[in-house]
Structure 1
Amino acid sequence: MKKTVSLVLTGAMLASLAACGGSGAASTTAAASSAAAESKAAETTAAAGESKAAESDEIDPELIKAAKEEGTLVVYGSCEEDYLAAASDHFKELYGIDVQYQRLSTGEVQSKIEEEKGNPSGDVWFGGTTDPYNVAAKEGLLEAYDAKNAKHLIDAQYKDPDNQWFGIYKGILGFMVNKDELARKNIEEPKDWKDLLDPKYQGLIWLSNYNTAGTAKLVVNTMIQKYGHDDGIKYLTDLDKNVQVYTKSGSGPSKNVGTGECVVGIGFLHDGITQIVDNGYGNVDLIIPESGTSFEVGATAIFKGAKHPNAAKLWIEYALSPECVELAAQNGSYQFLVIDNAKQPEQASEFGLDPDNVMKYDFEDAKNNTKKYVEDVMNALGSAADDRFKTE
């Protein structure tokens, strides 16, 4: 498939056993023998994989032993479900630890662990932008851990200063548009953030929900950091006039652009790449806002009070290894990776995205004020927020 993409740039702007047939004692014995052989082979393979992982990632063998004794890990994942499933299954394959995982948006995870107040039903958080992670860290809901594999992070900005979360990927915020629908309506593509306020885009824009999606929280922080608090809030209330749908998850808009249900989606551009490359939507264009845009750091963290603390620590080491992060591109997630010993996804570069050409994002301001800023936006929207921002 020919990949068609339009990037709007200013200067350089800018992841069975085979059933033994037959019956009788002979076939039963053969089946038992075959099953035993295969079981032994599986154990040998798991041990070899574990040994390789421990050696390559320099993981303490005592940590692996303690994690295996706990035997279980519960993961709340805010990345795409295919990547979450692949990462969880591979962890089980490497270490023989049963992994129970559930896909939830970052806002949903944040709300869940706030309600559980230090007695979390999950052990680790995996994927999703760090703004909700920072809120959870400030509220004392994440466990600090001095991860050995954090030495592979390419920059200090990809780690919480107190080791409460660690970055695993980076995504660029922008617009995804259905070029066929825009052409049919004789409307040009938006080039910058303020273009989205034009009445011609009324009812054409999709954005994620400020209450449930880390992506939307990043949009709030980005507008406030670009325009100042009051003008940033005003921008978002003006934008609301043109928004047709607020989705629960940050990737929701991207999944509806190719079909034309959403004409202009705001979100991470790697989600748009997934729609073009994996789902064949050549009618999707990707746009980097001319005046600059921000980025997410997708992260992983341990919940304070985790029931399986050693398995949780082992997960962090695993999540900061090529064994884990390279599974992203193999499962339709094309974010830039932020550890120095992992192979970057070719698809992101092919579409002209540059992970370094983004605005300087104030993580500390986001950490201290995200919850307040979201409340400010919702208060400014007033009654308009009652019906359009569902959390269920």
Structure 2
Amino acid sequence: MHSTRTDRRSTRYTLRLAAAALVSLAAAAPAFAQSTIADLAKYDGADRMEKLIAGAKQEGTLTIYTSTPVDDINAITDAFTKKYGIKVDVWRGSSEDLLTRGVTETKAGRYTADVYETDGPGLEALTREQMLQPVSSPTFKQLMPQAVQDHNNWVGTRLNVMTSAYNTNLVDASSVPKTWTDFLDPQWKGKLGVEAEDYDWMAAIVKRFPSEQEGLDFFRKLVSTNGLSVRSGHTLLTNLVASGEVPLSMTVYEYKAQQLKADGAPVDWFGISPIPSRVNGIGVSAHATHPNAALLLQEFEMTDAQAILVKRGFTATNLTLFPLPKGVSLDVIDSKVVLDEGKKWQDLFEKIVLQQQK
């Protein structure tokens, strides 16, 4: 009996020691795991990545809402999971659907998304809804200035460069326009195309002229003399250039034209500098339920994923890893301006370009 009581006391003592050890570990080990999203987001110590990785592994998963094409987002999330062992649940929709879903859920107190990934204006809209968390990251210093917002609620991870493309069987490379007014040349009558929602591109071009009025007059003259074939979707438009149905499109995404060219299609692209470019990026939810994993994914997209994006034809924003080619000048469209002036330019695009096609 004495031995049994001793064993029991020993067991109770051992359990108390174990409990004390667990309390001690709980105070030290979780580090970031029990911190608030605000604490995590502003921490920029030398061990930031180490802490994020440890916390993310404890969380084990995260959810991303994205408008990125399926193949592109899968390439990123698969690589992230392979490196860190963290599962990524993906919900994908259009930028508009993403905004609607995110805002509706947040107002209802449902916080499913840990990360939002979409175009710059969409992320700026989420910022104005106070749905994104300001983040402080040493990696921001590696990015092009236009990718980092002054409020730090989101960051640009890649650019869609809006170039022109032409069918090499129908258009001689030596004849492609060198300036915007070259598009007024009669040789382009009935040969030009444009995407149906590129109002922000038109705004960027208009602002190259000495006055807004002169820029708008350029587009009015272009439409009335040479005409513009308006098509919905940049991928469709690029394919129509390859088929010859649209000999020259004023607006395509450079990466898509380059992909078709690499596949042997009779397509080439050119740009009139500075080339208008749209920024896409990532923001961490201010209500993220997996904050460490969310911040870790943002870091991943600014670093490791840049090579994945470049391989898939996007222009990286991390200039330390992928400097722009010599002589290339980009005009990154300001997402705030698109939100603030979007209605004005949508109306002008509708009146000058779209209505003339009806």
Please report the TM-score for the alignment, with normalisation by the length of structure 2.
Answer: 0.69
Distance 2:111 2:301 in 1: 20
Aligned to 2:14: none
For structure 2, the residue ranges without an aligned partner over 5 or more in a row are 1-45
1:149 equivalent among 135, 139, 163 = 139
Equivalent residues, number? 307
1:175 equivalent among 145, 164, 169 = 164
2:301 equivalent among 291, 313, 319 = 319
Give the letter for the 2:167 counterpart: N
Q: How far 1:159 moved relative to its partner?
A: 0.3
- 1:194 and 2:217 matched: no
Taking only the aligned residue pairs, the percentage that are identical comes to 20
Aligned to 1:225: 207
Aligned to 1:124: 115
Aligned to 1:329: 310
Secondary structure in structure 2 of the residue aligned to 1:181: coil
Q: How far 1:362 moved relative to its partner?
A: 6.7
Aligned to 1:338: 318
CA change 1:167–1:114 in 2 (3 A) is same
**2:165–2:238 Cα contact (<8 Å) kept:** yes
Q: Deviations over 1:153-181 (max 9, x none)?
A: 2x433201111121223454320111213
**1:76–1:125 Cα contact (<8 Å) kept:** yes
Distance 2:283 2:191 in 1: 36
**1:168–1:339 Cα contact (<8 Å) kept:** no
CA change 1:200–1:343 in 2 (3 A) is closer
Aligned to 1:268: 253
Aligned to 2:237: 253
**1:138–1:368 Cα contact (<8 Å) kept:** no
Q: How far 1:89 moved relative to its partner?
A: 0.5
Q: How far 1:275 moved relative to its partner?
A: 1.7
Give the letter for the 1:180 counterpart: N
**2:202–2:349 Cα contact (<8 Å) kept:** no
RMSD (Å), alpha carbons:
3.8
**1:273–1:334 Cα contact (<8 Å) kept:** no
Distance 1:143 1:200 in 2: 52
For structure 1, the residue ranges without an aligned partner over 5 or more in a row are 1-56, 211-215
CA change 1:66–1:90 in 2 (3 A) is same
Q: How far 1:354 moved relative to its partner?
A: 3.8
**2:196–2:354 Cα contact (<8 Å) kept:** no
CA change 1:370–1:175 in 2 (3 A) is same
| 1:78-89 map, 5 Å | 78-89=67-78
**1:58–1:148 Cα contact (<8 Å) kept:** no
Q: How far 1:198 moved relative to its partner?
A: 5.7
Aligned to 2:23: none
Distance 1:117 1:165 in 2: 18
Give the letter for the 1:143 counterpart: Q
Aligned to 1:8: none
Distance 1:362 1:329 in 2: 20
**1:237–1:377 Cα contact (<8 Å) kept:** no
CA change 1:333–1:146 in 2 (3 A) is same
**2:276–2:333 Cα contact (<8 Å) kept:** no
CA change 1:316–1:173 in 2 (3 A) is same
Larger Rg, first or second structure (1 or 2): 2
Distance 2:114 2:189 in 1: 43
- 1:72 and 2:55 matched: no
Secondary structure in structure 2 of the residue aligned to 1:270: helix
Distance 1:365 1:204 in 2: 34
Distance 1:132 1:234 in 2: 30
- 1:60 and 2:49 matched: yes
Q: Deviations over 1:291-334 (max 9, x none)?
A: x433333322224444543322121111111x21111233x324
CA change 1:383–1:245 in 2 (3 A) is closer
Please report the TM-score for the alignment, with normalisation by the length of structure 1.
Answer: 0.64
**1:207–1:245 Cα contact (<8 Å) kept:** yes
- 1:373 and 2:353 matched: no
Distance 1:111 1:232 in 2: 34
**2:131–2:285 Cα contact (<8 Å) kept:** yes
